[in-house]
Amino acid sequence: MRPPPLLDVHGLTMRFGGLSAISDLSFSAGQGEITAVIGPNGAGKTTLFNCITGFYRPQVGRLVLHHPDGSALGLETLADHVIARKARVARTFQNIRLFPRMSVLENLIVAQHRVLMAASAFSLAGLLGLGRYRRAEHAAIDLARHWLDRTSLTSFADTEAGSLPYGHQRRLEIARAMCTRPLLLCLDEPAAGLNPRESGELNQLLRGIRDEEGIGLLLIEHDMSVVMGISDRVVVLDHGNLIAEGSPAEVRGNPAVIRAYLGEPDEPAVVTGAEG
């Protein structure tokens, strides 16, 4: 029933000094699915993202990304920019990381750096003003315009990214990630700081990305309305361990999850392996 896996996480362990942020974590995220990673603060969610996107190198475990052509890449050994380029994993950040002094459009063009760089032969063709580069740049602008439309930012295209309101910046970061044409989009708390209307629009945007682009989405989220509203699968972490995995409905009723969130001092704290 489940779609083919896009990302397989096997036995992932990440330690900082003596502290295990993630221990022996395994799960998979499917293609064309929205997988939410939830858990209390300090559960290891952002660390997981940083391992997937190559900002941290895990001590143990494998992260396999399956491409539609059947090839597979082990992310655990690749450098961050190689993961973004070759494995086509894009991400957003918990504290938005735009290029604040560049315009909105420039942010989206920079995201297409690799394509433009190839078309311009490391900028040489561009320096000489060759047509090949000009065509590539037009294509890049078209893609940027598409995502500006999708995120309703078209009218802000030429303003400085840093001067946009918070909610717009969040959307711009998603648009920028999409301009890299990813297979897997990792969103770190995309709804944080959004008002209910904005968060509703975000749900629509994310669903649209899943349905129209057919890519996999992995998101960390605290806002349960977002998690329950749009995710196909939910992965619950606590203290670096997987405590539940399944559909939103299954997870919602899972006693281990309730315990992790509310705490139950009489019960033993660690409950593992509640497979959905």
Closest contact distance (angstroms) between CB of 166 and other proteins is 17
CB distance 179 to 104 below 8 Å: no
Q: Which residues pair with 43 in a beta bridge?
A: none
Closest contact distance (angstroms) between CB of 148 and other proteins is 8
Please give the DSSP secondary-structure letter assigned to residue 81: H
Cα 13 to Cα 19, 81, 164, 251, 274, distances in angstroms: 11, 22, 38, 23, 19
Closest contact distance (angstroms) between CB of 93 and other proteins is 7
59: helix, strand or coil: coil
Closest contact distance (angstroms) between CB of 170 and other proteins is 14
Which is nearer to other proteins, 2 or 138 (by Cβ)? 138
Closest contact distance (angstroms) between CB of 213 and other proteins is 17
Copy the structure tokens of residue 138: 């037009």
Which is nearer to other proteins, 143 or 243 (by Cβ)? 143
Please give the DSSP secondary-structure letter assigned to residue 191: T
Which is nearer to other proteins, 219 or 243 (by Cβ)? 219
**Distance separating alpha carbons of residues 162 and 142, to the nearest angstrom:** 23
**Distance separating alpha carbons of residues 28 and 8, to the nearest angstrom:** 4
Which is nearer to other proteins, 10 or 134 (by Cβ)? 134
Which is nearer to other proteins, 71 or 95 (by Cβ)? 95
Copy the structure tokens of residue 219: 């998101």
**Distance separating alpha carbons of residues 183 and 215, to the nearest angstrom:** 5
Closest contact distance (angstroms) between CB of 169 and other proteins is 12
Which is nearer to other proteins, 2 or 81 (by Cβ)? 81
Binding site for other proteins (CB under 8 A): 16, 46, 50, 53, 55, 80-82, 84-85, 90-91, 93, 97-103, 105-106, 109-111, 113-114, 116-117, 120, 122-123, 126-127, 133, 137, 141, 145, 148, 154, 157-158, 176-177, 180
Q: Letter for the amino acid at 81?
A: H
